[in-house]
Amino acid sequence: MMNEEIPNLTAFDQAALDQAFAAVEHQARNDAAALDNVEALEAFRLRWLGRKQGLLNEISSRWLKAAPSEAKKPVGERFKILKELVERLLDESSGTGPSDAALAAEAIDITLPGTRRLTGAEHPITRTLNEITSVFAALGYSVGVGPEVETDFYNFESMNFPPGHPARDTQDTLVISNQDRRPLRDRLLLRTHTSPVQMRTMETQPPPVRIIIPGKVHRNDAQDATHSPIFHQVEGLCVDTNITFSDLKGTLDHAMKALFGSAVKTRFFPSFFPFTEPSADVQISCIFCGGKGCRKCKDSGWIELLGCGMVDPAVFRFAAEKQPAYDPKKISGFAFGMGVERIAMMKYGISEIGQFYAGDMRFLSQFS
């Protein structure tokens, strides 16, 4: 019986209703008697109880809704009985299924071990980034983020790299193409350090500021065992009144001990960075030999790990253009930066930086 085979009722007296509903009930019983597998059972359910094209829905539309007001009650009562019959036939037929052989073929042995789902793990770079971030978060630092495609102003000029400054050449910058017609400070490039976020933060937030900036940076470096054109940095900035170099030394000494163990010692050597004055390189006592001297530290007992210094007043003057509170006569601050891959290589004994990016599951599975 297709939907088109359900006729419209022309009479709604008791005899006509008995005849019409009896025919439909007979068809439902015949359909139920023919069920012999799960697929047929589902087809029966959709044929009779389907919401849009089911036969009961069609009967409701053609007979119940079309009935005159005085006939709606008897039609409704018979329709309810018919629906209960179809649902009962469906329930009774649910026991009808495929043959024993078919059931055996589809059986599942629940005593067999299940499919093992491999557990994921943080990439060693991500893990190291999170470890560094947690150390400084415990000191009250928040996390700053910024775009990887930067302008020359934020990447260089505001960090006290004026045009023609020789320190620009040491950055090996990857410049976005077709920028020649723009003013130099507006030209786009891939950031060579996360320092631009320091300036962006100071422009929008008055002091005091304590932020760390983890992120990806890009330089036109040749790939070798310790260099990659893409790597990660964590930089930090602390600005307030009466910030001294002693605060910087204490902060970094605590951070190195938190990362490498309480036995680690730190020492500072004069250096140069355009955006800090004075500047220093930070060394830690070799974590492999305890400072006695080995191949890892070139028998010196020390490993150079990061750079730092007091924020140059020129950087504060750039920030003061939009945030006057950064008056270098009233505030001071320090900044530092470290390479994440270098720290990860030390912590996990990795000798080749390219292993971080090769996607070799044999290598990465060691960290799961």
pLDDT attached to residue 105: 60
**Strands 230-240 and 266-273, how do they pair?**
unpaired
Per-residue burial over 90-129, b if 16 or more Cβ lie within 10 Å, else e, is: beebeeebeeeeeeeeeeeeeeeeeeeeeeeeeebbebbb
Q: What is the DSSP string of 225-260?
A: SS--SEEEEEEEEEEETT--HHHHHHHHHHHHHHHH
53 within a domain of the structure (yes/no): yes
pLDDT attached to residue 104: 60
Helix H or strand E encompassing 88: helix 72-93
What are the backbone angles phi and psi of residue 331, rounded to the nearest 5°? -125, 165
Overall domain count for the chain: 2
Residue 99 shares a structural domain with residue 231: no
Residue 101 shares a structural domain with residue 131: no
Look up the CATH number of the domain holding residue 203: 3.30.930.10
Residue 146 shares a structural domain with residue 99: no
113 within a domain of the structure (yes/no): no
188 within a domain of the structure (yes/no): yes
Residue 204 shares a structural domain with residue 97: no
Helix H or strand E encompassing 347: helix 340-348
353 within a domain of the structure (yes/no): yes
Residue 271 shares a structural domain with residue 320: yes
Range of 95's domain?
Answer: 12-106
- Length of the chain, please? 368
**Residuewise pLDDT in 10s, the chain (368 residues):** 444 567 777 788 888 888 888 888 888 888 888 887 888 888 888 888 887 778 888 888 888 888 888 888 888 888 888 888 888 888 877 754 444 555 566 677 778 887 877 777 889 999 999 999 999 999 999 999 999 999 999 999 999 988 887 777 766 888 888 888 898 889 999 999 999 999 999 999 999 999 999 999 998 888 888 788 899 999 999 999 999 999 999 999 999 999 999 999 999 999 999 999 999 999 999 998 888 888 888 889 999 999 999 999 999 999 999 999 999 999 999 999 999 999 999 988 888 898 898 888 888 888 87
Residue 232 shares a structural domain with residue 270: yes
Which of 106, 138, 160 terminates a domain? The answer is 106
Residue 198 shares a structural domain with residue 169: yes
Residue 173 shares a structural domain with residue 292: yes
pLDDT attached to residue 76: 86
| 303 close to 273: Cβ distance less than 8 angstroms | no
Residue 140 shares a structural domain with residue 62: no
115 within a domain of the structure (yes/no): no
111 within a domain of the structure (yes/no): no
Which of 50, 71, 106 terminates a domain? The answer is 106
Residue 152 shares a structural domain with residue 74: no
Residue 303 shares a structural domain with residue 193: yes
Q: How many CA atoms lie within 13 A of 201 on its CB side?
A: 22
116 within a domain of the structure (yes/no): no
Q: Which of 102, 155, 92, 125 is nearest to 231 (CA)?
A: 125
Residue 167 shares a structural domain with residue 272: yes
77 within a domain of the structure (yes/no): yes
Which of helix, strand or coil describes residue 197? helix
pTM for the model = 0.66
d(CA 60, CA 231): 69
